[in-house]
Amino acid sequence: MDQQPFFTDTVGVMAVILMIPVFFLWLERKTQWKVFEFLPAIIWIFLTPIFLSNIGIIPRSTPIYSTFKGFAVPLFIVLMLLDINIREALRVAWRGAVVLVVGAFGIVIGAVVAFVAFRSGLPPDAWSGFGALAGSWIGGTGNLAAVAESLSTPDEFVGVVVVVDNFVYLAYFPIILTSKRWAGWFNRFSRVSQEQIDHIAESTKSVERKSHEVHFRHVLTLLGFGFAAILVANYLARLVPELPPVLTEKTWAMLLVTTIGIALSATPLKKVPGTEPLSMSFVYIYMTMIGASADLRELAGAQWFLLAGFVCIAVHFLFIVVAARLLRVDVSMAAVASVAAVGGAASAPVAAGFHREELVPVSIMLALIGYALGNYLGVGTALLCQMLA
């Protein structure tokens, strides 16, 4: 018989769940240890609750987790998408945006190719894990969580996707940074002129930045509209016919709340500060709960997931290079477009700053476009893989 966890009440479980990301984010910021460059805080935030749930500190299964995930996942989708400004991104760097979209479809195709190549070593329902991985690499951790939750991806698969996501990215990100050295021959290959590069640098100076001063009224406004969006999406999802096992009511609700979030970004609500800290708080709590729920010992085929991840990222890289050639994009913009998808809003400014400082605002806007695409294309990836399973 399983041992009774030490914490079973709501206060005790939530105290542990919340303090895990608090501790590791503080430790990463305070110490700046080199280990966090290779194993970022999100890995520790995910692995620590696995350990704690296995030794009986917190439960592996509890209504607390399902209740929180039920409202937190759609809520952080709305909050993340409120920052998106597709019109502004297309105005200052439409070529970079198109490269990002092409690279996103490269991830979809790469995931499907990898799934077909390695499906003999994968569990029958591994298609949902590939959808979550595609969502993560097209958007970010929030998209991983949203796609996984909407597809009812087993927690064990989510755990492996998190590991594969970070492990492959650790190998890929240095390539993106090193690509700065290829500028001479790559720009000749892509036929981009110095005048085009200078034009982008000049255009980015006019990009509007949101205030970071957050008041309680901002938080209440964001939460109010966020829950209202969830309410509308859940109601509309009941009216759409289901096509299981991929397009269920949960999946439709997630796609609808994504669409509503994008629509709200065209309203004055997009100027309300506080979207990023609030949404990322929900994302990190969600990842901690997923870690607590996961039992990686029950998953077979993890090594095939890892190999599939490398295949997927290789196809994405090929699509980025081809798109850069066709659209005459320089190496810096191509690198930023790639990492804006694969690394998300956290890594895109780092890569942009390393390549060209003036690309930092553009990198953030491109990453937000990735957030908008991630849920749609993640579900599309799962659907294609399921059809080929």
- What pLDDT, on the 0 to 100 scale, is given for residue 206? 55
Whether 282 has a pLDDT exceeding 60, the answer reads yes
Q: What is the pLDDT of residues 115-167, one digit of tens each?
A: 999 988 888 788 999 999 999 999 888 889 899 988 988 877 888 888 888 78
Residue 132: CB partners within 8 Å, gap ≥ 6?
A: 144, 147, 148, 151, 153, 157, 158, 161, 378, 382
- Asked if residues 388 and 112 have their Cβ atoms less than 8 Å apart, the reply is yes
Mean pLDDT (the chain, rounded)? 86
Q: Which two tokens stand for residue 125?
A: 């329902």
CA distance 169 to 347: 10
CA of residue 95 relative to chain centroid, distance: 22
Specify the residue for token string 């909050």: 79
pLDDT value for 1: 43
Task: Retrieve residue 176's tokens.
Answer: 């993106």
**pLDDT confidence tier of residue 95, bands split at 50, 70 and 90:** confident
- Widest distance between CA atoms in the chain: 71
Question: What are 239-265's pLDDT values in tens digits?
Answer: 998 887 778 888 899 899 999 999 998
Of 230 and 349, the structure prediction assigns the larger pLDDT to 230
Structure pTM? 0.82
Query: Which pLDDT band holds residue 299 (cuts at 50, 70, 90)?
Result: low
DSSP 4-37: PPS--SHHHHHHHHHHHHHHHHHHHHHH--THHH
According to the model, what pLDDT value does residue 199 have?
67
- What's the CA gap between 228 and 15, in Å, rounded? 28
Nearest by Cα to 347 from 110, 178, 139: 139
pLDDT of residue 193: 74
